[in-house]
Amino acid sequence: MFDFKEIGVVRSNFKEHTDPFKMREFESTIEIKKEYVEGLYRIEESEYLEILFCFHKSNDYELKLNNYYGEYKGVFATRTMKRPSNIGLSKVKLLKRKDNILYVKGLDALDGTPVIDIKPYNGGYKDSENEHKEIIELKDNPRKKIIQLVKNCKLEDLLTISGALHGHYCPGLSMGVIGSVYAVNKIKEFSDGMEDILAIIEINSCFADAVQLITGCTFGNNSLIYRDYGKIAFSLVKRDQKGVRLSAKPSYRELQKEKYPEYQKYFDMAVVQQNRDENVMNEFKKLAKEVSFDLLKWEINDIFKIDDVKLKLPDYAPIKEALYCAICGEQIMKSKETYEENKVYCKPCKNKEYFQIDGSGVSVCK
């Protein structure tokens, strides 16, 4: 049996376990016992430290479990606090030292945590190696970064990523960010695009882009259902049919107009009247960006009506036979073909009606 010496103790604002990424945002201190103070000599020369500590409030463990990102792994392939040895390790930034007190940032340890060792962090990875490591992690779970941001309600970061998909910033996109982050954290599960969680969107607008990016439910992975109601609303639902629905309050639009009159003026010019004058468009985009990020500060109940729901869901998407058009030779998903004289054709080759989703919603075209 090993005998670990407690060389100090953590002093933190966190008394009970919470999200580790949130904990790392706050400063904490490490109080070193008097008999070990000489061991801190010249520690100020290290910008970063590695803190070895004991998970003193963890009493059990599992050899296989779901990690922070919902991935099912062995305990030694995770950073869970529930470990056979109860040992934790964190890299921290050393802010300053005052006698036997180290002021640090980045420590995800609770108040009263026993510290058993401190080492200078000497890097180990070059920037290019870190980038490669991040790529490997994303290959394992492509939504790892987004999951981390959602769990920590990093709305600005998520709006920035959503803007990359949408092409610009606007209040509708911000509403999608706010609503989606709330819904995902409410149901406490993350989609991996395998249809175990479904998003039901009720409008095809800016709002929908943020819903797809943040929930992970998209048209392409068959986890996004579009119901052409024309409402700024969506539901996030598990396969047990239980979930949450958020719908824009009738009062929201008027509150927005009242709070951002200049934006509304340029919205009418650029979007409603389709005035594409360069000066108009530049001012509209500038104001849209300002309003979009400011909207993230609103209380969610000023924007949405929120309800627990139980909804009937479609089955998992079937795999359909591939057919080929007798004219163009292109592949067609079975059930989308048309027939003439026992030959298979695609709809455009035979000028048949088809459904189209565009800015107006769902329409029949030919």
> Please, are residues 177 and 214 in contact by the beta-carbon 8 Å criterion?
yes
Q: Which helix (H) or strand (E) holds 198?
A: strand 197-201
The reported pTM is 0.78
Average pLDDT over residues 23-50: 94
Query: Residue 125's pLDDT is what?
Result: 52
Residue ranges matching CATH 2.40.30.70 in the chain: 8-120
> Please, are residues 10 and 109 in contact by the beta-carbon 8 Å criterion?
yes
14-35 confidence digits (pLDDT tens): 999 889 989 999 999 999 999 9
Residue ranges matching CATH 3.30.1330.130 in the chain: 144-254+296-310
Q: Is the pLDDT of residue 342 over 60?
A: yes
Q: Which helix (H) or strand (E) holds 303?
A: none
Query: Residue 123's pLDDT is what?
Result: 67
Dist. CA 4–CA 248, nearest whole Å: 56
Q: Which CATH number fits domain 8-120: 1.10.3720.10, 3.30.70.260, 3.40.50.300, 2.40.30.70?
A: 2.40.30.70
Report helix, strand or coil for 118.
strand
For 144-254+296-310, CATH gives: 3.30.1330.130
The single residue listed with the structure tokens 């490591």 is: 133
Query: Residue 90's pLDDT is what?
Result: 93
Query: Residue 167's pLDDT is what?
Result: 93
| Mean of all residue pLDDT scores within the chain | 93
Among the listed residues 202, 198, 252, 190, the one whose alpha carbon sits nearest the alpha carbon of residue 222: 198
Query: Residue 128's pLDDT is what?
Result: 59
Query: Residue 230's pLDDT is what?
Result: 93
Q: Is the pLDDT of residue 69 over 70?
A: yes
Non-local CB neighbours of 12 within 8 Å, separated by 6+ positions: 23, 26, 28, 29, 107, 109, 110, 111, 113
Report helix, strand or coil for 30.
strand
Q: Is the pLDDT of residue 106 over 60?
A: yes
pLDDT band at 4 (very low <50, low <70, confident <90, very high): confident
